[in-house]
C-alpha cells in the first residue's frame, strides 16, 4: 500500500491517506495527468468529497513500497554576473585622440569598464537543508541570492540554475518559491494575525474557504513562534509594537504562507541580537524540515546558529573561497595552512582570515585556487559525492511531476487547487491566486484598516482644508457685485482652485512608503498591478468627498457666491473633481520620483506653473503661441473656468452700473457729481442714454473678458475628472514598467 501525504486537515497538519497503486513501475512511468488525478483523489478523501475516485488504484497492495517525500535538489553551475561601471569624465577624455589603423589596438585603447560581482559560482543543496552564503560586505552574498531567485534580468546572468536537473522557468519559479527581503516591509497598524491573514487572502486559492485560511494562519503563527504577539500591531517609530525578532519572523511568514518549495532570504538575521537571530534561524530550520529548500545570506552567524546550518558558501569579491558543510571547515583551513583554534568560532575565524587576505598583496587568489583543488580532491576521494535524490518509488519523475506530487503532500497551497484539478500533461498553475475583484476588495480592506487606525492623518488634512476655507471666507466675506467685487471673486476662485491641488501634495508619501511592500508582493504575483491602482483610487476617494463638502460649505455662503442650491452642488462637484485630478497627479508623480523631498519640490513647481497658465494672471488670448500648449495642459484652468461660469452664468445679474464704469480707474476718485456729468458726456458722444442705473457689464461680459468662451462648465468638469483617470492610467504604466524588481 502506498501512502500519499495531504494537508487538507482542519488543523493544517499533514495527514496520511492510504491509496492503492497499480505498481511501482507503472506509477513511475505514468503521465502527469494520471498523477494529478491521483492527487485529486487524495484531496477528495481529505475533505470528505464523495465523488468517485479514479480507477487507477487497485487492490494489489505492497506495504513495503511506501511513498516517500519527493526530494528536490537545487544546483547552480558557473553563475557569472558582470555590471558596467560609469567612468568619470576627465579633461583628457575631452581631447580628441588620433585614430589607430590597427583594429585590435583600437579595442584595447578604451576597454569596457566592468566589475565582476559573481565569478563562476557553483553549488547545490536539497530540501530539508539550509544553505548559508557568507562573506564580508560587498562579497556578493545578496547578488548570489538574487541570481538564484531569478531577480537578475535575463541575459545579464550567465550560468544555469536547475531543480532536479531541469532548468527552472521564470513562471514556475514564481509559483514554487518565495523571497524575503532584508528590510521588514510591513503595514505598521495591522496586527500580526491580520498581516498574515491578508497574505493568506492574496496567496491562497480563492476556492479555499476562509475557515481553512484562518487555520493555515494559526498553524503558521505556531510555527513561527509568535503566538503571544498575534494580537499586537506591527508598530513603527510612533507606535509601539512587536520586537525586532518577531517583526522579522512575520516578514518571513508573509512569504511562506503558501508553503513554498524554495525559500530565499537576504540576511534575515541582520540587526538582531544573538537570541533573536537564533530564533529566526530555528524557524527556518523547521521550514526546511517540512520539505523546503532554504537558501539565505548571513553576515556572521553565532555558534548556535552555525549548528542549524547544513551547507556554507564563503564568498570574497564574487569568488568562492569555501563550499561545504560546517563540519569540514576545520580540516579545510588546516590543510590550507591556517588551522582554526579550538575555542574560536569557525565562521568568525574564516571571515577574519578572508578579510586579512583581501587586504594583502596577493589577495584571496591562493585561497580560491586551494578551494578548487579541495573540491576536486573531495570528488576524487568520494568524500563529498554530488547530491542525488534518495531512493524513491518514483525515480523517473520529471520536475513537474515532482512538484505535483509535492502538492499532494500539502506544499504550494496556492497552486494545489489548479494543479490537481487538471488532467493535462503539463503542470498548469494560475498566475494569480484570486480574481481581480477579490484582489481589489482585499487591498482596499487592508488599506482602510491601516488608515482607520491612524485617524490623525485624515484629521490633520481635514483641519488644513477647513482652516484654509475659514481664512478665505473671512477675507472675502460677502463680496458685493461691484467692479471691485468682480476682481475679488476672480482672485478667490484662482486661490481656491489651486488650493485643492496643493492640498493633494500630502498623497505623495503614501505610495513612497508602500513602494517596497508593493514590489515585494507583486514580485511573486500576490496580486495584479491593476488591482493595486484601482484599490488605491477607491480608498482615496471617500476622504476626497468629505474634504470637498467641508471646503464648499465653509466658503460658498460666506463669500456670497451665486447659483443657489444647484450652484452649490456644482461647486461641490468641481471641488471634488479638482481633488480627484490633483490626487491622481500626485500619485502618478510618486510612481516616478523615489524621494519625498524631491517629490514635494517637483509637485510645488509644477502646480505653480499650472496656476500661472490657468488664465487668471494672463488671459488666454494674451499667452504667447509657444506657451499656449501649457495653458491647455494646466489642471487649474478647467476648474477655474468652471467656477467662473457657475458664478457669472446668470444673464440678468449686473456687475457694473452707471458711474461704476469709472471704478478701478484714476477717475474713480472724482466726486459723484463729476462722474455723473462725465457719464452724460459719454452718453451724448455715443448717441445713447446711460444713466446711473444702466447695466454696462453682465456676467457674460466678464466671461468674455476672461477668455472663458470655449467650453461649458460641464465640459470643464468632465475634463477635470478625465485628467484624474488619465494620471491613474499613467500611474499604472509606471508600476508596470518601473517595478520589475530585477537587477540589470
Length of the chain: 744
Confidence band of 50 (pLDDT split at 50, 70, 90): very low
Question: Would you state the cell numbers that stand for residue 341, as one nine-digit string?
Answer: 583554534
For 519, residues 6+ apart whose C-beta sits below 8 A from its C-beta are: 739, 741
Q: What average pLDDT does range 546-557 have in this prediction?
A: 94
Q: What average pLDDT does range 265-277 have in this prediction?
A: 88
Confidence band of 377 (pLDDT split at 50, 70, 90): confident
Q: Check whether 99 has a pLDDT greater than 60.
A: no
Confidence band of 17 (pLDDT split at 50, 70, 90): very low
| Three-state secondary structure call for residue 294 | strand
Q: Quote the pLDDT of residue 387.
A: 52
DSSP label at residue 341: P
Q: Check whether 552 has a pLDDT greater than 90.
A: yes
Of 142-151, 210-219, 328-337, 376-385, the one with minimum mean pLDDT is 376-385
CB 110 within 8 A of CB 90: no
Q: What average pLDDT does range 494-500 have in this prediction?
A: 89
Q: What average pLDDT does range 103-118 have in this prediction?
A: 58
Confidence band of 583 (pLDDT split at 50, 70, 90): very high
Q: Quote the pLDDT of residue 549.
A: 95
pLDDT in tens, 401-426: 888 877 777 677 644 444 444 433 34
| Three-state secondary structure call for residue 242 | coil
DSSP string of 90-144? -HHHHSPPPPPS-HHHHHHHS---EEEEEEEEEEEEETT-EEEEE-STTSSHHHH
**Best CA proximity match to 585, nearest among 641, 463, 502, 516:** 502
Confidence band of 741 (pLDDT split at 50, 70, 90): low
Q: What average pLDDT does range 3-17 have in this prediction?
A: 37
Q: Quote the pLDDT of residue 391.
A: 43
Q: Check whether 564 has a pLDDT greater than 70.
A: yes
Of 110-119, 132-141, 591-600, 613-622, the one with minimum mean pLDDT is 110-119
pLDDT in tens, 175-198: 888 888 888 888 999 999 999 999
pTM of the predicted model, to two decimals? 0.77
End-to-end CA distance of the chain: 51
Q: How many Cβ atoms sit within 10 Å of the Cβ of residue 26?
A: 11
Q: Give CATH 3.40.50.300 domain extents, the chain.
A: 73-84+112-377
For 113, residues 6+ apart whose C-beta sits below 8 A from its C-beta are: 84, 85, 86, 87
Q: Quote the pLDDT of residue 643.
A: 93
Q: How many Cβ atoms sit within 10 Å of the Cβ of residue 169?
A: 12
Q: Which has the higher per-residue pLDDT, 195 or 434?
A: 195
Q: Quote the pLDDT of residue 58.
A: 36
Q: Quote the pLDDT of residue 615.
A: 87
Report the mean per-residue pLDDT for the chain: 80
CB 390 within 8 A of CB 71: yes
Q: Quote the pLDDT of residue 152.
A: 86
Of 90-94, 212-216, 364-368, 429-433, the one with minimum mean pLDDT is 90-94
Domain 73-84+112-377 of CATH type 3.20.20.140: no
Q: Check whether 553 has a pLDDT greater than 90.
A: yes
Phi, psi of 293 (to 5 degrees): -100, 120
Amino acid at each position: 500500500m502506498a501512502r500519499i501525504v495531504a494537508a487538507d486537515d482542519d488543523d493544517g497538519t499533514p495527514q496520511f491517506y492510504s491509496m492503492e497503486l497499480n505498481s511501482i513501475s507503472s506509477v513511475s512511468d505514468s503521465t502527469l495527468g494520471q498523477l494529478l488525478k491521483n492527487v485529486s483523489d487524495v484531496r477528495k478523501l481529505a475533505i470528505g468529497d464523495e465523488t468517485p475516485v479514479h480507477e487507477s488504484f487497485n487492490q494489489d497492495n505492497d506495504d513495503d513500497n511506501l511513498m516517500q517525500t519527493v526530494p528536490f535538489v537545487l544546483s547552480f553551475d558557473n553563475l557569472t554576473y558582470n555590471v558596467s561601471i560609469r567612468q568619470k569624465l576627465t579633461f583628457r577624455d575631452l581631447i580628441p585622440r588620433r585614430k589607430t589603423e590597427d583594429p585590435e589596438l583600437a579595442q584595447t585603447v578604451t576597454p569596457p569598464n566592468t566589475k565582476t560581482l559573481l565569478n563562476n559560482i557553483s553549488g547545490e543543496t536539497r530540501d530539508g537543508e539550509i544553505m548559508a552564503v557568507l562573506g564580508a560586505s560587498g562579497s556578493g552574498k545578496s547578488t548570489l541570492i538574487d541570481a538564484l531567485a531569478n531577480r537578475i534580468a535575463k541575459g545579464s546572468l550567465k550560468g544555469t540554475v536547475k531543480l532536479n536537473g531541469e532548468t527552472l522557468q521564470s513562471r514556475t519559479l514564481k509559483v514554487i518559491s518565495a523571497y524575503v527581503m532584508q528590510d521588514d516591509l510591513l503595514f505598521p497598524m495591522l496586527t500580526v494575525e491580520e498581516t498574515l491573514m491578508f497574505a493568506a487572502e492574496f496567496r491562497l486559492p480563492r476556492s479555499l474557504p476562509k475557515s481553512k485560511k484562518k487555520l493555515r494562519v494559526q498553524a503558521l503563527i505556531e510555527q513561527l513562534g509568535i503566538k503571544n504577539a498575534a494580537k499586537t500591531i506591527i508598530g513603527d517609530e510612533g507606535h509601539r509594537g512587536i520586537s525586532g525578532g518577531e517583526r522579522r519572523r512575520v516578514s518571513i511568514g508573509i512569504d511562506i504562507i503558501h508553503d513554498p518549495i524554495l525559500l530565499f532570504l537576504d540576511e534575515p538575521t541582520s540587526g538582531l541580537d544573538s537570541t533573536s537571530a537564533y530564533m529566526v534561524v530555528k524557524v527556518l530550520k523547521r521550514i526546511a524540515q517540512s520539505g523546503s529548500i532554504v537558501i539565505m545570506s548571513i553576515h556572521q552567524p553565532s555558534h548556535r546558529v552555525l549548528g542549524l546550518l547544513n551547507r556554507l558558501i564563503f564568498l570574497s569579491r564574487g569568488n568562492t573561497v569555501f563550499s561545504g558543510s560546517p563540519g569540514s571547515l576545520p580540516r579545510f583551513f588546516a590543510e590550507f595552512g591556517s588551522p582554526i583554534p579550538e575555542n574560536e568560532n569557525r565562521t568568525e575565524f574564516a571571515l577574519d582570515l578572508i578579510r586579512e587576505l583581501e587586504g594583502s598583496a596577493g589577495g584571496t587568489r591562493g585561497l580560491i585556487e586551494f578551494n578548487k583543488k579541495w573540491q576536486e580532491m573531495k570528488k576524487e576521494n568520494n568524500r563529498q559525492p554530488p547530491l542525488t535524490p534518495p531512493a524513491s518509488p518514483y525515480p523517473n519523475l520529471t520536475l513537474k511531476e515532482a512538484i505535483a506530487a509535492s502538492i499532494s503532500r500539502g506544499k504550494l497551497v496556492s497552486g494545489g487547487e489548479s494543479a490537481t484539478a487538471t488532467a493535462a500533461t503539463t503542470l498548469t498553475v494560475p498566475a494569480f491566486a484570486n480574481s481581480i475583484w477579490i484582489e481589489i476588495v482585499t487591498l482596499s480592506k487592508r488599506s482602510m484598516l491601516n488608515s482607520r487606525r491612524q485617524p490623525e492623518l485624515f484629521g490633520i488634512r481635514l483641519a488644513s482644508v477647513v482652516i484654509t476655507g475659514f481664512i478665505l471666507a473671512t477675507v472675502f466675506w460677502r463680496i458685493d457685485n461691484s467692479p471691485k467685487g468682480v476682481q475679488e471673486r476672480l482672485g478667490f476662485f484662482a486661490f481656491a482652485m489651486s488650493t485643492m491641488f496643493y492640498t493633494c501634495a500630502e498623497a505623495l508619501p503614501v505610495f513612497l512608503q508602500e513602494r517596497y511592500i508593493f514590489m515585494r508582493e507583486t514580485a511573486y504575483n500576490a496580486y495584479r498591478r491593476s488591482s493595486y491602482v484601482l484599490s488605491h483610487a477607491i480608498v482615496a476617494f471617500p476622504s476626497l468627498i468629505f474634504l470637498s463638502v467641508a471646503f464648499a460649505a465653509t466658503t460658498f455662503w460666506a463669500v456670497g457666491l451665486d447659483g443657489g442650491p444647484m450652484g452649490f452642488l456644482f461647486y461641490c462637484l468641481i471641488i471634488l473633481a479638482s481633488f480627484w485630478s490633483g490626487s491622481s497627479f500626485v500619485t502618478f508623480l510618486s510612481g516616478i520620483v523615489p524621494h519625498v523631498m524631491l517629490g514635494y519640490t517637483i509637485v510645488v513647481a509644477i502646480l505653480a506653473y499650472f496656476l500661472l497658465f490657468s488664465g487668471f494672471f494672463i488671459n488666454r488670448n494674451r499667452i504667447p503661441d509657444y506657451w499656449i500648449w501649457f495653458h491647455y495642459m494646466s489642471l487649474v484652468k478647467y476648474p477655474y473656468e468652471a467656477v467662473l461660469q457657475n458664478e457669472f452664468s446668470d444673464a440678468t445679474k449686473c456687475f457694473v452700473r452707471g458711474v461704476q464704469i469709472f471704478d478701478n480707474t484714476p477717475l474713480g476718485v472724482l466726486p459723484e457729481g463729476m462722474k455723473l456729468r462725465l457719464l452724460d458726456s459719454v452718453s451724448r458722444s455715443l448717441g445713447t442714454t446711460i444713466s446711473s442705473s444702466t447695466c454696462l457689464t453682465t456676467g457674460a461680459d466678464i466671461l468674455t473678458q476672461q477668455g472663458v468662451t470655449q467650453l461649458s462648465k460641464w465640459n470643464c468638469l468632465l475634463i477635470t475628472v478625465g485628467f484624474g483617470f488619465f494620471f491613474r492610467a499613467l500611474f499604472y504604466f509606471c508600476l508596470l514598467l518601473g517595478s520589475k524588481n530585477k537587477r540589470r
